[in-house]
Structure 1
Amino acid sequence: MSRLTYTLGKQGYLVYNAASGKYRLGTPVLSLGYTCLSGMGVRQVARPLMQELADHTGLSVALGGRDRFSMIYLECCRGDSPVTLQLDVGSHLKLTTSAMGRAYLAGLPDTERAALMDKLEAHENERSPGRWPGIRDGILQAVEEYRMKGYCLSLGAWKTEVNAAGVPYVPRDGSPVLAFNCGGPSFLLHRKTLEEDHAPRLVELVRRIDAVLFNS
């Protein structure tokens, strides 16, 4: 491995696929420019299904990948609610507290999640000393929630006025984990609605995307 390849891999710009023995671009590349988005099969398949869910809920539905300590929006669809989240492709959310970020973490293999959690702890302690225990507990609760229900929630954890559900997408071909969310203002979107309708529909959306991409 060359020094350049090693460095790009450490930064997340290159991801090694053990199945093929080749490298592919990681999602942090998207923060440098979005021209590569058109080549992402998952985005092309996901968009009409995301819009369908956005139309049903009246809220925002987004697809994202990890960019270091954040999640970056790769696609976003909006419903017809007069009050929606003002986020679009290229927007960043906190990895540790957003529904999308928690879903991403929940979708990682245990060893990979543990290694990333160590980095997140150091990052959070550097920025906001003393907050990590609460943040960690929220992540661990989300991981358990995903294992039990297939989704996880963020109720005012990312921003006090925002509630959302998140579901990871773990591609079968070893590509990087992605995540979907569906969320909106907390005064419009309550936990019961998320749990009884929006979150299960988001789980089904991810299942349908996987079925189309892998013909199952």
Structure 2
Amino acid sequence: MSESEAPGTGRTPGGGSSGERAAGALDRGLAILTHVAGNRGVSTPEIAQALGLTRSTAYRLVDRLEEQGWLTHAPAAGQWQLGPTAVRLASAAVASTNLRDTAAPALRKLAELTQETVSLGVPNGLTMVFVHRERGTRPAVVTAELGASRPLHSSSLGRAYLAALPQQKLEDTLIELVRDPMSPVSAATVSEVHAEVERTRERGWSQDLRDFDESSCCCGAAVYDHTGMPVACISVAGVAERMAPLVPTYGPVVAQVCRELSSSLGYLPPGS
């Protein structure tokens, strides 16, 4: 079968040395994982178009990533999401710092208090990745698996992280958001993100009122380590109609939990 006639598997021989092919395939594979991580379900043709790949190359690489567990089928037909191998890698990154184990009791306590879904996310490029979750007793709309990601600009996890960054790091990150071809943030709209970050700083906690998902509302805050940098964020999410009026109540609670967790990681607030 020729390269142009490679539906499904797209397995084709390539030119050049084996080292060049391996390096090129690795770069393209990483680009695919980054793209899938930043999008909620994406098809192989969409991956090819977004990354400038031929369809045969995209199908070949996606098939390989699926075989190794980096990608798995999303609920929507023909779409992909990060797979169990990616989830294990994200979890290992957190486990290596014992952050998840340290945070787990606080997350369980918060879930018991609010009866809503409580999540722990860590930064990964221009997204936040779910690495731990405690479900409350109330019906939830948060169905994303561990390892799934949320954008910095429109999620409570991401906004909490942005607001916790030192000012120069924040400005640099916003520039990256504008420059990223996969980001909806543009030079014309970045001021809106900046304004929301400032509101988050003033409140002391972040909120997402149907911004990322029409069916849910959530609030969040950042966790700092001993260096004074944000290393994770915690969010409380629930069905929009129920959660929206509770966000102003739960926001300060999440912030207090994050302050206590930060203290256990050795963080000292400025002026302490």
Give the structure-2-normalised TM-score.
0.60
Cα deviation for residue 75 of structure 1 reads: 1.3
Matched-pair contact (CA < 8 Å) for 1:63–1:73: yes
Q: 2:246 is matched with which residue? A: 193
Alignment of structure 1 residues 101-140 onto 2, 5 Å:
101-123=158-180, 126-127=181-182, 133-134=188-189, 136-140=190-194
Does residue 212 in structure 1 map to residue 269 in structure 2?
A: no
| Unmatched 5+ stretches in structure 1 | 1-28
Find the aligned partners of 1:73 and 1:121 in 2 and give their Cα distance.
24
CA RMSD of aligned residues (A): 2.5
Q: 157-166 or 80-89, which moves further after superposition?
A: 80-89
Find the aligned partners of 1:122 and 1:85 in 2 and give their Cα distance.
29
Q: Point out which structure has higher relative CO (alpha carbons under 8 A, 6+ apart).
A: 1
Choose which of 99, 124, 136 in structure 2 pairs with 1:42: 99
Larger radius of gyration: 2
Partner SS, residue 165 of structure 1: strand
Find the aligned partners of 1:181 and 1:118 in 2 and give their Cα distance.
25
Q: Could you list the structure 1 runs, at least 4 aligned residues long, displaced by more than 6 angstroms after superposition.
A: none
Aligned residue identity for 1:193: L
- The percentage of counterpart residues that share the same residue type is 22
Choose which of 234, 237, 254 in structure 2 pairs with 1:183: 237
Cα deviation for residue 77 of structure 1 reads: 1.0
Cα deviation for residue 45 of structure 1 reads: 1.7
Cα deviation for residue 199 of structure 1 reads: 0.7
Matched-pair contact (CA < 8 Å) for 1:98–1:158: yes
Q: Evaluate the alpha carbon distance shift between residue 52 and residue 88 of structure 1 in structure 2; reply closer, same or farther with a 3 A threshold.
A: farther
Can you list the C-alpha shifts for 1:60-118, whole angstroms capped at 9, x where unaligned? Answer: 11111121221101211110112341133211111211110111111111111111111
Aligned residue identity for 1:171: D
Choose which of 160, 174, 195 in structure 2 pairs with 1:141: 195
Give the structure-1-normalised TM-score.
0.74
Q: Evaluate the alpha carbon distance shift between residue 159 and residue 132 of structure 1 in structure 2; reply closer, same or farther with a 3 A threshold.
A: farther
Q: Evaluate the alpha carbon distance shift between residue 46 and residue 93 of structure 1 in structure 2; reply closer, same or farther with a 3 A threshold.
A: same
| Unmatched 5+ stretches in structure 2 | 1-85
Q: 1:19 is matched with which residue? A: none
Choose which of 97, 112, 136 in structure 1 pairs with 2:154: 97
